Structure 1
Amino acid sequence: MDTDLRKYLQQNHNQFTWKERIQIITGIIVALEKIHNENAIHRDLHSGNILFRFGGIFNISDLGFCGPADKPLKSIYGNLPYIAPEVIIGKEQTFKSDIYSIAMLMWEISSGQPPFNNYEHDYDLAMNIVNGIRPKIVPGTPLEYKNLMKQCWDADPSKRPDIFTLVNKTREINLFYQTKSSELSQLEENNNFEVENHTGSSKLFTSKLHQFDNLPEPRNATEEEQETFHSNKSYNYYIPNNIDDFNKSSSKKNSTSKINSIFK
């Protein structure tokens, strides 16, 4: 029986190695490549409409669904954390807006949680996204994976890779892991991070109509702005510590509380 990516991650994330995580995102990106090859844009890509099938195959559903026919003028339809900032301010969907959604999926696969899952999908979150706030990168994320993810969520669509570049880069990373010894498939017993599953309200995990006025042009946030936004949040992740060939850095946990937009 098919299950969507969100449920699949909730059920299995603690057992995944980075080798398996990279296989998952590679499969999703290859599926999106087929859509873009048909000169089509998905327009509403998120983990709720990516279906996992027996045998490790991922299919993308809800292609091209733009919301109800009677949606208000200037409104947008989608799952807010996955919507590209230029679309949030009212610009047209493009191939590069799908690539932004892929970045959010990359983060979700790395963390096991939907992006911004502790925040209401409201004007404050929209303002933060447009001003360059992105989910806090999970400690232990491979350097190449992290850099590619950051390219994909750049506020400037022209700086995001196209689907063909993205396929090639993820295949390179995937190949690296597939050629490593079997020890990479084993989870290390001594780990400092555990997943803290914040399921939140299910209404936050579905697409809906949004309408936001008076938003600025999208930009990238500074490191200081990112730190300010995330300084009152806690991220407890379980990350297999088997990626020394990619990235030997680590991070510590932060305290937690809900905050509003840092941009007014």
Structure 2
Amino acid sequence: MFNSYITDFGLYKPVSQDSSSKALFGVLPYIAPEVLYTNGKEYTQKSDIYSFGIIMSEVFTGYSPHHDIPHDKDLATCICLGYRPKIRCEVPQLLLDLMNKCLDAEPKNRPTAGELASILDHFFQDLGKEATELYKQVKNIKGIDKNFLTYDQVKSMRFKYQTHPQAIYTSRFLNLSKLPKPGNNTYIFKMLVICFVKISEICQYSKCR
């Protein structure tokens, strides 16, 4: 059996830079809103939990987070306001709830690393037990999938998506300032995305509220 490890969630900085400097470096979609808001000054283990939640969304969908929009200050603003990667596929509700807890705008509402490990281990055990809720949810989704495309067809489609030319997935200096205080304002995005409003326009709308 192989063990997987996720590393390098910490804030990246050039080797030449003073370690005490608070300049913000990283890959924007994976950075927690409180880190963006404080420009790197408020970084805790709970910030890593947020990053783990983003990776969960990537595993669920097969899409890189926010792949279809520019990774700029508008996106940083929206992340602080509660905008999160879209889940366009069926996912067991228990896993979806866990992901959303990891992505909560309030760090204290996210699970600790120990709690997360315990929950995931519990889920792993439940997958082999027919009486558990997770097993039932997974089985139900598999039943739904039979009526649509095969797994290989869906996987092939997912990994052929186009990435926006300004979506950047390498660590870089992020010159961000005057971002809104983080909050779980998902209702703003649900209302405006339905109306096909662009991310930049949503951000402007949110700033006026």
After TM superposition, the score normalised by the length of structure 2 is 0.75
Q: Quick one: which amino acid aligns to residue 228 of structure 1?
A: M
* Runs (5+) with no aligned partner, structure 2: 205-209
Is residue 263 from structure 1 mapped to residue 182 from structure 2 by the alignment?
no
Q: Quick one: which amino acid aligns to residue 108 of structure 1?
A: E
- The higher-RCO structure (CA 8 Å, 6+ apart) is 2
Q: CA deviation at 1:135?
A: 1.5
Q: CA deviation at 1:261?
A: 4.6
Q: 1:190 aligns with which of 117, 141, 147?
A: 147
Residues 176-208 of structure 1, C-alpha deviation per residue, up to 9 Å, x if partnerless?
213359x95x78442269444424149612121
Paired residues in the alignment total: 184
After TM superposition, the score normalised by the length of structure 1 is 0.60
User: Structure 1 or 2: larger strand share?
Assistant: 1
Is residue 171 from structure 1 mapped to residue 121 from structure 2 by the alignment?
yes
Match of 2:28 in 1: 80
Distance 1:229 1:56 in 2: 44
* Runs (5+) with no aligned partner, structure 1: 1-54, 234-256
Equivalent residue of 2:86, what SS? coil
C-alpha change, 1:192 and 1:260, in structure 2 (3 Å) is farther
Matches within 5 A, 1:174-253: 174-180=124-130, 188-191=145-148, 194=154, 195-196=157-158, 197-200=160-163, 201=165, 204-223=168-187, 225-231=188-194
1:133–1:229: 8 Å Cα contact kept in structure 2? no
Q: CA deviation at 1:263?
A: 2.2
Matches within 5 A, 1:55-134: 56-62=2-8, 64=10, 66-68=12-14, 69-70=16-17, 75-90=23-38, 91-134=41-84
Q: Quick one: which amino acid aligns to residue 227 of structure 1?
A: K
2:102–2:111: 8 Å Cα contact kept in structure 1? yes
2:66–2:167: 8 Å Cα contact kept in structure 1? no
Q: Quick one: which amino acid aligns to residue 191 of structure 1?
A: F
Q: Quick one: which amino acid aligns to residue 262 of structure 1?
A: I
Equivalent residue of 2:168, what SS? helix
Equivalent residue of 2:5, what SS? strand
How much identity, in percent, do the aligned residues show? 32
Q: CA deviation at 1:228?
A: 3.4
